[in-house]
Structure 1
C-alpha cells in the first residue's frame, strides 16, 4: 500500500472513531450529568499518560528530548493549549448545547479554512478535485444532520459560538504540530500534548472531583472516549495527515458523521431517512475521489518523515 493510500486509511479510521467518541460523549453529557470541561480534562490526562507510557517502553528517557529546545517547548505548549485542549473542549461544549450532529456540521468549516489558509500561503488556488470534495462533503454532512431542512438546524447562541471556535481549533491542530511530528513522531508529540492539555484544564475543572451519575454504561462510554476516541483516533488521524497533508486529511474527516449515524441506528434505534443514505453516498464519494486523485506532496503541506535532529 502506498504512503498516500495508507494515509487515507489512517485518516478515515481515525475520523470514524471520533464519531463513536462524539456519540458516547453526548450520552455522558446529556444522560449522565457530566460537564464538557470535566470530561475533556479526564480524557486528555488519561490518554496522555497511556501514550507516554507506550513511548517510554520503546524510547525510555528519550521521551524527554522534546524539551531540549526552546522552540520545540513553545510549539508543544501551543499544540496542547490551542490545538488539542481548545479543540476538544469546544467540540464537547457544542455537543452539550446541541448534539453531536450539529457539532460535526459546525466543526466541518475547518477544511474550508485550511484550504483558504494554504491557498493564501502558497499563492495557489485549490485544485478542482479539492473544491469538488468540499462541496460533496459539506452537502453530505448537511443531509445527515438536517435531513435537507434548513429550519431543522436551530441552535443556541452558545452552540454556534463553540462550534465556530471548534472549527478554528481544528485548523490549528492540523497545521501547527507539523514540526513536532516531523522531529519526534506522532505518538510522542500527541502524548505530551494530551498530558499538558489535561493538566491545564485540570486547574479549572478539577477531575478529581467526581460528578455525574456512574454505572457500567457510563464507565464503558468513558473508556470508549479515552481509548478509541482519543488514543487510537488521534494517533491514526495525525499519522494520516503526516502522510497526505492537512487539506486532504481534514476533508477525509467527513467520515466522522458516518460512524455517529450508524451508531445511533444500532444503539439508539434511530431509523435512516432517505436523505441519510444520500448524505452517506456523498461522503463516501468524497473519500473515493480524493483516493483516486491524490494531491502532489509538498513540503509546505505535508510533514516529511525523515527526522532532522
Structure 2
C-alpha cells in the first residue's frame, strides 16, 4: 500500500487554487493597461490593496512573534521586492507586448530555475522523471514561443517575460522556506514591503506611475476601473499569494512550482472568456506538453519521497534509537 506524505493532497488543492487565482491577473491587468495605465501603477494598487486586506490577519498571526520579523527581515524584503513587486511589474510589461498566455509561459521558465537552484544547493541531480518533466516543459515553451520563426513574439516582451521568470523562481524558493513566519504573515508583510519599494521607485521617478480613471472592457462589457483593481488586489494577490505559500510549504518548492504551471491554463481560459484572446494550435499543443511535464515531476517527487522514507525505515530497523531520543 503506497504511503503519502501528510498534507500532500491538501497541498495540491491549495496549489491549484493558487494557480487559478493568479491566472486571473493577466486579463484584468491587461484591461487596465490598454486604457493607458502604467504597469507600476497597476501593481502598486494591487499590492497595496492586498496589504490592507491582509493587515488584520497578519497582525493577529504575528501577535507575540514579532521577533521573527527581525530575524527574517532580509527574506521578507527580498520576497516583497523581487517575488511580489519585481515579478508582477515585469510580467505586466510583458503582457503589454505579448498575449497573456505567452507572457505567462515565459515567466514560468522560473520553474526550471527552481530545479537548477535545488540542484546547486543540494548537489543532487534531479531524478529521471523530474528531469523528463523539465524537458517536456521546455519543449512546451518552445512550441508556445513558436521558435520556427513563423510568428515570432515581440523580443522586448520576451525579455520582460524572462525577467519575470527570475522573480517567480524567487517566489517559490522563499515561500517554501519554513522561516517560522506564519504563511499569512509572510504574504501580508511581503505585500507591505513590495508596496513600499514600488512607492519609493515611483516617487523618485524610476518607475512610471500613470493612473487612468476610466472604465475597462471585459467580456464586451464596460466595468469601473476599481472593479479590476479590487479583483487584482483581493483575489489575484491576497488570496493567491497566501494559498501559494501554504502549498509550497506542504509540497516543497519543486513540486509546487510545477503544479503552479497550471496557472498558464487558467490564464489562457480567463483571457479567452474575458478578452476573447485565444492562442493558436501550436501554443495550445505547448500547453499540453507543459501539463505532461507537471505530471512527470509530480510522479518523480512522490517516488523519490517513497525511496527516502523506505531508506529511513531500514536505517531505523538496523540502528534503533534509544528510548526518549527525539
Q: TM-score range by the shorter chain?
A: 0.7 to 0.9
- Tell me what 1:241 maps to: 248
- Which secondary structure state, in structure 1, belongs to the residue aligned with residue 32 of structure 2? helix
- Tell me what 1:172 maps to: 170
Kindly provide the CA deviation profile for residues 262-300 of structure 1, in whole angstroms up to 9, marking residues without a partner as x. Answer: 1233223456754455444434434444444434469xx
Q: Following the alignment from structure 1 to structure 2, what is the Cα–Cα distance between the partners of residues 287 and 153? A: 26
Tell me, yes or no, if the aligned pair for 1:7 and 1:239 is still in contact at 8 Å: yes
Tell me, yes or no, if the aligned pair for 1:80 and 1:196 is still in contact at 8 Å: yes
- Tell me what 2:264 maps to: 257
Count the aligned residue pairs. Answer: 290
Greater C-alpha Rg: 2
Q: Following the alignment from structure 1 to structure 2, what is the Cα–Cα distance between the partners of residues 290 and 275? A: 23
Alignment of 1:21-32 (within 5 A): 21-30=25-34, 32=35
Q: Tell me: CA distance 1:17–1:249, structure 2 relative to 1, closer, same or farther (3 Å).
A: same
Superposed CA RMSD in Å reads: 2.8
How far apart are 1:198 and its partner, in Å?
0.3
How far apart are 1:96 and its partner, in Å?
2.2
Matching residue within 30, 43, 46 for 1:43: 46
Q: Which runs of 5+ in 2 are unaligned?
A: 216-222, 307-326
TM-score, normalised to structure 1, is 0.82
Tell me, yes or no, if the aligned pair for 2:176 and 2:248 is still in contact at 8 Å: no
- Tell me what 1:189 maps to: 186
- Tell me what 1:104 maps to: 104
Q: Following the alignment from structure 2 to structure 1, what is the Cα–Cα distance between the partners of residues 285 and 279? A: 11
Kindly provide the CA deviation profile for residues 64-99 of structure 1, in whole angstroms up to 9, marking residues without a partner as x. Answer: 4443x3x41222222222322211121112222333
Task: Name the structure where helix makes up a greater proportion of residues.
Answer: 1
- Tell me what 2:123 maps to: 123
Tell me, yes or no, if the aligned pair for 1:55 and 1:63 is still in contact at 8 Å: no
Tell me, yes or no, if the aligned pair for 1:147 and 1:273 is still in contact at 8 Å: no
Kindly provide the CA deviation profile for residues 212-237 of structure 1, in whole angstroms up to 9, marking residues without a partner as x. Answer: 14233432222221111111111111
- Tell me what 2:201 maps to: 204
Tell me, yes or no, if the aligned pair for 1:137 and 1:283 is still in contact at 8 Å: yes
How far apart are 1:5 and its partner, in Å?
2.2
